[in-house]
Amino acid sequence: MPRKPHPPRSSRGLACDSILAIDFGTSNSTVGYPTPSGPVLVALEEDHVTIPSAIFFNTEDECVQFGRSAIDAYTQHYEGRLLRALKSVLGSSLIEETTPVGNHRIAFKDIIGLFLRHLKAKAEAQVGKSITAVMLGRPVHFVDDDEARDQTAQNQLEAIARSCGFKQVDFQYEPIAAALDYEARVDAEELALIADLGGGTADISIVRVSPAHHLKVDRKADVLANAGIHIGGTDYDKRLSLNQVMPHLGYKTHQRLHPARELPSPVYFDLATWHRIVLLNDNSTATLLKEIHHLADQPALVHRLARVIREQTGHKLAGDVETAKIALSDMERATLALPYIDDDLAIEFSQAAFEQATRSETQKIAASIHECLNQAGVPPSSITTLFLTGGTSAIPSVRAACQAAVPNARLVEGDRFGSVGIGLTIHAGLRANS
């Protein structure tokens, strides 16, 4: 359906192509800018308007690569360091830490800065001028149940954006942005529950969407509630990995001399957690691995773990687990061959086992929807539309849980990876012109 045009207005002194809207996602990012004829997403890699939130420090070619090209360089075994899911570092103690790259160390916040600067440069090249105002998306909670740390996370992102040359930095909740995208196509007022289920967080808003209000800047009266939880696709990957893959690398096996004790687990948790994989490149891991190997009653499995870390295939493994997870959205079964870990290692996954293993994550997302309904003070039956976006909304059990929470609602799906970016751009245009 064609998007409704947005008339150019300019009382805030910003021409509409003088502000960017950045959806810095845990897994994928977009950049948009408003134009008189509607929001435009920037082509970030060839024709792609989404870019994986990945960065590769290629120490062999002495360059920094982003997105698909970062992942490709890593997959082609260029020497260097791959980092992914860096948004998850915001609000955690890691943000102040550094990680080794070649023969120096670089701070996590500076790595996020490099990524945002790359997005800014891509957009400026497309628009043809320098842009110093940005509307950044943010989850409803960067950090669960801790307002101070949550605010700190936003402040960290703002400081990083400023360090990239943005002088005016505003934020909007990601699900409100998705609501604005949805609203561009409604013909009558609806009470919509918007669920943006991404890589790092599940974000929910209940919004009265209406064609009559679509171009209003102040929508406080139409936003009934927002809720969110730090659970997203990367947590589903982690759960699948810990449940079905890491045991083949010794996780949960026992100690030779103390058969009642399991092997230490932190290294397995790091290997199953996208944004922590890079930490395993530190020298201390080699010592830890020797200790684990010494303790193990099944040292052959720990050999596999050591091989993954030595050969730096942790991201490849996480990517393969993610691919298996995605396959399970459409198929009952999936097989993952892992010859780079052991010649004949192949793991069978089933949708039923995946649903079972991730039940608690899915229940927490459903609980967040109920919390949002409670905050809004509306009964579930009054929600007329369930608007789903974000990659994790493709998981059948997650969709079913969302639908069960608002049984009378009509299910509508947005552009899974572009809705938030489009909505942020609509919001940026309205703010710039207000």
**Contact set with ligand ATP (CB under 6 A):** 25-28, 87, 174, 198-201, 232-234, 322, 325-326, 329, 390-392, 394-395, 417
Per partner kind, with CB cut-offs from 5 to 8 A, the member of ligand ATP, Mg ion, none near residue 228 is: none
Closest contact distance (angstroms) between CB of 321 and ligand ATP is 9
- For residues 153-192, which are near Mg ion according to CB under 5 A? none
Of 6 and 87, nearer to ligand ATP (C-beta) is 87
Q: Supply the minimum distance, in Å, between the C-beta of residue 255 and ligand ATP.
A: 34
Nearest approach, Cβ of residue 366 and Mg ion (Å): 19
CB of 2 to Mg ion, least distance (A): 24
Nearest approach, Cβ of residue 236 and ligand ATP (Å): 7
Nearer to Mg ion, 314 or 423 (CB): 423
- Distances in Å between the Cα of 276 and the Cα atoms of 271, 279, 312, 314 are 7, 5, 13, 10
For residues 29 and 140, the answer to whether their CB atoms sit within 8 Å is no
Per CB under 5 A, the list member of 91, 113, 175, 198 interacting with Mg ion is 198
Q: Does 232 bind Mg ion (CB under 5 A)?
A: no
Quick one: what does residue 201 bind among Mg ion, ligand ATP, none, with the CB cut-off 5 to 8 Å set by partner type? Answer: ligand ATP
- Residue whose CB is less far from ligand ATP, 32 or 199: 199
Please state, in angstroms and rounded to a whole number, the distance separating the CA atoms of residues 30 and 17.
Answer: 16
Give the distance, in angstroms, between the CA of residue 149 and the centroid of all CA atoms in the same chain. 19
Q: How far is the CB of 179 from ligand ATP (least distance, A)?
A: 15
Cβ distance to ligand ATP smaller for residue 273 or 392: 392
Amino acid at 317: L
Question: Would you say 178 or 401 has its CB closer to Mg ion?
Answer: 178
Question: Nearest approach, Cβ of 367 to ligand ATP (angstroms)?
Answer: 17
Closer by beta carbon to ligand ATP, 87 or else 316: 87
Interatomic CA distance for residues 208 and 189, integer angstroms: 7
Nearer to ligand ATP, 80 or 199 (CB): 199
Q: Look at residue 362 and give the partner it binds from ligand ATP, Mg ion, none, a contact being a CB closer than 5 to 8 Å depending on partner kind.
A: none
How many residues of this chain bind Mg ion (CB under 5 A)?
2
- 418 contact choice in ligand ATP, Mg ion, none (CB below 5 to 8 Å, kind-dependent): none
Give me the least distance between CB of 175 and Mg ion, in Å please.
Answer: 9
Distance separating alpha carbons of residues 82 and 97, to the nearest angstrom: 16
At closest approach, how far in Å is the CB of 142 from ligand ATP? 10
Smaller CB distance to ligand ATP: residue 275 or 325?
325
Binding mask 12-51 for Mg ion (x = CB under 5 A): -------------x--------------------------
Between 233 and 250, whose beta carbon lies closer to ligand ATP?
233
Beta carbon nearer to Mg ion, 25 or 429: 25
HEC string of the chain equals CCCCCCCCCCCCCCCHHHEEEEECCCCEEEEEEEECCEEEECCCECCECCEECEEEEECCCCEEEEHHHHHHHHHCCCCEEEEECHHHHCCCHHHHCEEEECCEEEEHHHHHHHHHHHHHHHHHHHHCCCCCEEEEEECCCCCCCCHHHHHHHHHHHHHHHHHCCCCEEEEEEHHHHHHHHHHCCCCCCEEEEEEEECCCCEEEEEEEECHHHCCCCCCHHHEEEEEEECCCHHHHHHHHHHHHHHHHHCCCCEECCCCCCECCCHHHHHHHCHHHHHHHHCHHHHHHHHHHHHHECCHHHHHHHHHHHHCCCHHHHHHHHHHHHHHCCCCCEEEEECCCCCCCCEEEEEHHHHHHHCHHHHHHHHHHHHHHHHHHCCCHHHCCEEEEECHHHHCHHHHHHHHHHCCCCEEEECCCCCHHHHHHHHHHHHHHCC
Q: Which of the listed partners (ligand ATP, Mg ion, none) does 52 bind, with a CB threshold of 5 to 8 Å by partner kind?
A: none
200 binds, among ligand ATP, Mg ion, none (CB under 5 to 8 A by kind): ligand ATP
Q: How far is the CB of 17 from ligand ATP (least distance, A)?
A: 24
